[in-house]
Amino acid sequence: MNPDEHVAYAVAAWTRFHAEVSDDLLRALSGAFALVAAADGELATSEVEAFVTLLRDQQSVFSNLDFDALETNFRELTDALIANPEDGRLRALDCVAGVRGDGTKSELVRSAAAIALAADGRARAPEEAAVREITRVLGLESA
């Protein structure tokens, strides 16, 4: 999937979602993005900003998302990943696993990972591997 297809997939998933975004979903979304963004061993401020901008540009689709809370959770997880990569990774995976078993939330989290892949305009092997791990933790078949 190219970056535009990743974003289109995510927008389609969110367009169908009209419920309130729960704390577990918000944490899982943040965890998914943090895992993908840090997968290559580097986490650029531009990746964080690109992700938040992508979401804000689709405000009508993501209107039920608390952007400030998402950004706060994301920054906490990325700080944990930077401070101790393995512990941070496990913490982020735990956040993702918090929605396992809920098909709708799991698809939304997978869509967040798709947005993360598109955030820097290209998908590389480490990021794609992170999305596969997220998909596995969610109990979803690979897309």
pLDDT digits (tens, 9 = 90+) for 112-128: 787 777 765 666 788 88
The two structure tokens encoding residue 79: 């700080």
pLDDT tens-digit map of 85-99: 899 999 999 999 999
Better-scored residue on pLDDT, 139 or 12: 139
By CB atoms closer than 10 A (0-12, 13-18, 19+), residue 130 is buried
**CB-CB contact of 119 with 37 (8 Å):** yes
CA–CA distance, 4 with 65 (Å, rounded to integer): 21
The pTM of the full predicted model, rounded to 2 decimals, is 0.80
**CB-CB contact of 108 with 17 (8 Å):** yes
